[in-house]
Amino acid sequence: HPWMSLGYAGFLGTVTAMNARGLAIGEMGGGGEGAWDGMPMNVLLRELAEKAGTVAEALEILRETPRTCEYYYVLSDAGGQLAGIYATPSIFQVLAPGQQDPRLPTVHPDTVMFSSGGRARALSQRLGEHFGTITPETMVAIIKRPVAMRSNLHNAIFMPETGEMWFADAGRKTPACDEPYTRINLHAVLARYARDQQGSPEKQAPNGARE
């Protein structure tokens, strides 16, 4: 599937992505350093973006692929399905929307979330305050400090059903949550690319033949 990644030049995998089928992917790192006998996380998430079109398909790939370290994943798709995953090389735990977990504060209905400590409590409180009325604009406010870490490198807000992503990158001295957001629509970008390809004149080879 065509897909877009919030990443950086030279980074061949992904940690934040959405594909043209509407599968959106995010992750949060845990521990597990040294448990490296598996597919690296950023390559595994690229596999999801390229091969899975739904949360169910992504879960199957994650479950069957040898994994590394310890990670927390959040998945959503254009059909409205959600899943949170806690994964190590030997553990694969799926949290359904609204499922409570002793490691988390209150998880609201139709919600999956991962965070820790005071950041998790602040996230739960803000989600509860805006429950049922959340827009991309309110989500920008919800994930500001202290929900975001001081080292917040980038943020992405996905709308899988429309193919839209709002994203921000950290400044030289400011976390991503305090930087302006840019909106991109994957479907619009792909449509424009297709039009440009169709409208491009054929290249003329030196001998007059068409390439």
The proportion of the chain whose per-residue pLDDT surpasses 70, expressed as a percent, equals: 94
As a whole number of angstroms, the distance between CA 208 and CA 104 comes to 68
Is 89 inside a domain boundary? yes
CA–centroid distance for 154 within its chain: 11
Q: Return all residues near 52 (Cβ < 8 A) that are at least 6 apart.
A: 1, 19, 21, 23, 58, 60, 61
Amino acid, single-letter form, for residue 64: E
What's the total number of domains in the chain?
A: 1
Q: In this structure, are residues 21 and 77 in contact, taking their beta carbons and an 8 Å threshold?
A: yes
Per-residue pLDDT reduced to its tens digit, 25-63: 999 999 999 999 999 999 999 999 999 999 999 999 999
Is 103 inside a domain boundary? yes
Q: What is the DSSP letter of 71?
A: E
90 pLDDT exceeds 60? yes
Is 135 inside a domain boundary? yes
Range of the domain at 103: 3-197
Distances (CA, A) of 134 to 98, 129, 137, 151: 16, 10, 8, 25
